[in-house]
Amino acid sequence: MVENNLSSASIISNLGTHFIGQRVIYYPSLTSTMEVAKQEAQLGAVEGTVIIADEQTAGRGRIKRVWLSPKGSVALSIILYPSVVNLPSLIMLASLAVVHSIEAVTGLKPQVKWPNDVLVNDKKVCGILIESSVRGNIVDYAIIGIGVNVNLRLSGFPEIQSTATSLSAELGRDAPRLRIIRQLLVEVERLYLALQAGGSIYEEWQDNLVTLGRRVRVKSGKTIYEGVAESVTKDGSLLLRHSNGNLSKIVAGDATLRD
């Protein structure tokens, strides 16, 4: 039987990090961990504070979408106070941390779909949402929200069945949720410290992108782009080659793999 009960103590105990996850606020059920994280950040919560819920009743995704996070999934938010130069790298950091922790704990080989979905066998297993408050060059706070479909039975969610998967579905058995969460916090700290020390995580992020070289459709605001994903820039933008040879630089959007 996989140990899957969550509590602040079970997450913090012997975690081995310096600050990420040294304060954990756990809720059995919550509207959205982003809401509480925002309130905590505005009150000046210590860096690395984690808000985690067994289930969210109003989980939110990118572009105002709803994020399903019933019991068995992972829903957490991490409060950070990065410098403004490191802010764009948080997307790369979060997706890489998820890739590494899933791989280390389950042996599955996840990949990143630009900009920050984590896929296993081309289906989405994790979504990441970054929210921040920035004034000029000052970052008041940044919150990394991570939702992982860990032990999710997809038969209960027909609306996402064609595009999403879960770790349990890929493994054919339950996945150790607590171990994945703890590994994730360790990975976030390792990458965040590397970033703060002036290191670049762009190359590693690029190497883990499933998107490059593939035909994609990208929705960015009201614009739809189609072409081959050629490369990504250091600020995380996607360079898309159109069939007429033109190149578009897309700063943010939602990509669908077409091949």
Which residues of the shown chain bind ligand BTN in the complex (CB under 6 A)?
Answer: 32-34, 56, 59-62, 65, 67, 69, 75-77, 117, 127-129, 145-147
Beta strand 74-80 pairing with 117-120: unpaired
Closest CA to 255 of 189, 178, 177, 163: 163
Lookup: tokens for 91: 């997307």
Output the residue with the shortest Cβ distance to ligand BTN. Answer: 127
Decide whether 62 or 219 has the Cβ nearer to ligand BTN. Answer: 62
Q: How far apart are CA 214 and CA 171, in angstroms?
A: 26
Decide whether 95 or 106 has the Cβ nearer to ligand BTN. Answer: 95
Q: How far is the CB of 216 from ligand BTN (least distance, A)?
A: 16
Q: How far is the CB of 211 from ligand BTN (least distance, A)?
A: 15
Decide whether 133 or 196 has the Cβ nearer to ligand BTN. Answer: 133
Bin 44: left if φ > 0, else alpha if -120 < ψ < 50, else beta: left
Q: How far is the CB of 61 from ligand BTN (least distance, A)?
A: 3
Segments in the chain forming alpha helices (H): 8-12, 33-42, 89-106, 167-171, 177-196, 202-207
Q: By the 8 A CB rule, do 17 and 46 touch?
A: no
Decide whether 67 or 205 has the Cβ nearer to ligand BTN. Answer: 67
Decide whether 21 or 59 has the Cβ nearer to ligand BTN. Answer: 59
Q: How far is the CB of 93 from ligand BTN (least distance, A)?
A: 15
